[in-house]
Structure 1
Amino acid sequence: MRVAGVGFRQAATELSLIDAVQRAGGGADLLATAEEKAGAPALCAAAARLGLAVQAVGRAQLGAQEVLGASARVAERFGTGSLAEAAALAAAGPGARLLGPRVVSGDGLATAAIAIGRDE
């Protein structure tokens, strides 16, 4: 399974999120983000447009992931240095790995990272 983890600011749009996922490599089977962001209208619209479900990931699961990013602001709020990377890894399951570090959308409002499960 290929999971696109996403993080985004409140001002992010559906297109911000789609752009971030595409810049990260696309081809995802699922979108994942923090529980408190999972119902955001922009994310729901992006998921619908991409034909993907959204998986909400809890703070404990986010904090348990080893990520490449190190944002102090994100760490304070979500318990991890990269919401996109941690959400992707958590949703992809045990033994998952990142295809690369998170990337930022062209407008700077969203980030995405792709993780693949250990079976892929």
Structure 2
Amino acid sequence: MKAQALHVAGFGFRREATLASLAQALDQLIEQYGAIDKLAAAHSMLPLVEELGRLRHIEVIAVADAKLPTVTTLTHSTQSLQARGTGSVAEAVALLAAGPGATLLGPRIISADRKATAALAEGAIE
């Protein structure tokens, strides 16, 4: 019997991103992959994601900014590498929050206004 999977949506976004930017990106993930168990964000980006979590009644996991460069991502954004030391903040956050052995279900998606990204990682429920 296969262990139950945990689906964690990680977010990355520009300073000018709005709650609507994140919500639209989350809706794209849900449409593509189905239910999301938890949301995740780098500690420095937490307030907006926490607000989205409150509105959607989804728990939010905070990830240390210092851990972002330790993760290999599918996407290699030059801007993200320069700013945060990782190819995709959304992908790195999702993987870190989903736990050891987590895998990305695909590359990050970009919100319609291009201000936010979201990625979905699958980990095992402990």
Q: TM-score, normalised by structure 1?
A: 0.88
Shift in Å, 1:86: 0.3
Match of 1:80 in 2: 86
The answer on 1:109 being equivalent to 2:123 is no
Query: Matches of 1:32 and 1:76 in 2, distance apart?
Result: 21
Query: Matches of 1:4 and 1:69 in 2, distance apart?
Result: 15
Q: Which moved more, 1:15-24 or 1:106-115?
A: 15-24
Match of 2:36 in 1: 28
Matched ranges for 1:80-99 at <5 A: 80-99=86-105
**Alignment check: 8 A CA contact 2:81 2:87 kept:** yes
| Bigger radius of gyration | 2
Q: Which moved more, 1:84-93 or 1:62-71?
A: 62-71
How well do the aligned residues superpose, as a CA RMSD in angstroms?
A: 1.7
**Alignment check: 8 A CA contact 1:24 1:102 kept:** no
Query: Matches of 1:108 and 1:72 in 2, distance apart?
Result: 16
Which segments of 5 or more consecutive residues in structure 1 lack a partner in the other structure?
none
Number of residue equivalences: 118
Identical pairs, percent = 44
**Alignment check: 8 A CA contact 2:42 2:63 kept:** yes
Match of 1:54 in 2: 60
Shift in Å, 1:99: 0.6
Shift in Å, 1:119: 5.3
